Structure 1
Amino acid sequence: MIYVDADACPVRAEAERVALRHGLKMFVVSNGGIRPSREPLVENVIVTEGPDVADMWIAERAGAGDVVVTSDIPLAARAVEAGALVVKPDGEQLTARNVGQALAARDLMTDLRAADPFRQGGGRPFSKRDRSRFLDALERAVRAAAQG
């Protein structure tokens, strides 16, 4: 199965194409406001509003043999711990080897923003290259998950 943390996810359509090509069930999890897919293998899950409710829904279900698409690092850490493969929308794969470092960097940036509320800027804009890297990484993850 593929679980997509769909709030602000720029690659839902790409994930759906990969899921359909492989005949996989895909859950698109959000707080709402996302157009549902007409594909029977793609299920929209609308969770109640609240911080991290979609993340908790995914984390409670994802495990070995599943793929999670998210940019949320704490969710990625929980999914990796449960044995799922994690792909960020920019194509970066988070694994047991690098998710701890990603979590530490996230926490550091949170602390820096809290210390300087005028700190501006985020990451770079999402690009066509990111989309292409995502498709390649998701394809590899789906194949690896199928192999166990």
Structure 2
Amino acid sequence: MNIWVDADACPSVIKSILFKAADRTKVNTVLLANHPLNVPPSPNIRFMQVSSGFDVADNEIVKRVSAGDLVITQDIPLADEVITLGATALSPRGELFTKHNIKSRLNMRDFYDTMRASGVQTGGPAALSQSDRQAFANHLDSILAKR
């Protein structure tokens, strides 16, 4: 199992949880972003910078992911793609995306995109809460325990 992190918008606190988990479990963890990131020195943690552009990091993750891997992303279309490839997708807010819930999440995302395109202000996501962090850590531990 590898952990692939769509790191461009991944909160620092979530990256910290991932770094500790990677070292504790010895699972290879790769962060992909189009800007430089600092990662702790570790044989289990790697950073890969991709070029700027729409979905470049997402496309690189899709090229490299294998069935059984874990992808950390809040990007719903990316989650859908990796689930189709047999990987697991987890959002930084602790939402586990599955083949049973991803299509409805895609529909909601598309609905909100349509609303925003027509000028409706939908607001942004709420700040990452302590319960979001805890849900993420709990799901991550559960996934890593099953490997």
Same fold flag (TM > 0.5): yes
The answer to whether the 8 A contact 2:112-2:122 is kept is no
- Post-superposition Cα deviations, 1:35-60, rounded to whole Å, max 9, x if no partner, equal 13211210100001101000011111
Using the TM superposition, give the Cα deviation of residue 9 of structure 1 relative to its aligned residue in structure 2, in angstroms.
Answer: 0.4
Using the TM superposition, give the Cα deviation of residue 63 of structure 1 relative to its aligned residue in structure 2, in angstroms.
Answer: 2.1
CA distance in 2, matches of 1:129, 1:62: 28
- Post-superposition Cα deviations, 1:10-44, rounded to whole Å, max 9, x if no partner, equal 11111121122111100000001311321121010
Structure-2 residue corresponding to 1:82: 85
Using the TM superposition, give the Cα deviation of residue 138 of structure 1 relative to its aligned residue in structure 2, in angstroms.
Answer: 1.0
Extract structure 1 runs of 4+ deviating beyond 4 A: none
The answer to whether the 8 A contact 1:67-1:142 is kept is no
CA distance in 2, matches of 1:93, 1:20: 22
Q: Secondary structure of the residue that 1:45 maps to in structure 2?
A: strand
1:128-147, aligned counterparts within 5 Å?
Answer: 128-144=130-146, 146=147
CA distance in 2, matches of 1:71, 1:120: 17
Is 1:21–2:6 an aligned residue pair? no
Using the TM superposition, give the Cα deviation of residue 120 of structure 1 relative to its aligned residue in structure 2, in angstroms.
Answer: 4.8
1:36-75, aligned counterparts within 5 Å?
Answer: 36-75=39-78
What TM-score, normalized by structure 2, do the two folds share? Answer: 0.93
Give aligned pairs, total. Answer: 144
Question: Match of 1:18, as an amino acid?
Answer: A
Which one of the candidate residues 104, 109, 122 is aligned to 2:124?
Answer: 122
What TM-score, normalized by structure 1, do the two folds share? Answer: 0.92
Same amino acid, percent of matched pairs:
34
List gaps (5 residues or longer) in structure 1.
Answer: none
List gaps (5 residues or longer) in structure 2.
Answer: none
CA distance in 1, matches of 2:88, 2:98: 7
CA distance in 2, matches of 1:37, 1:56: 25
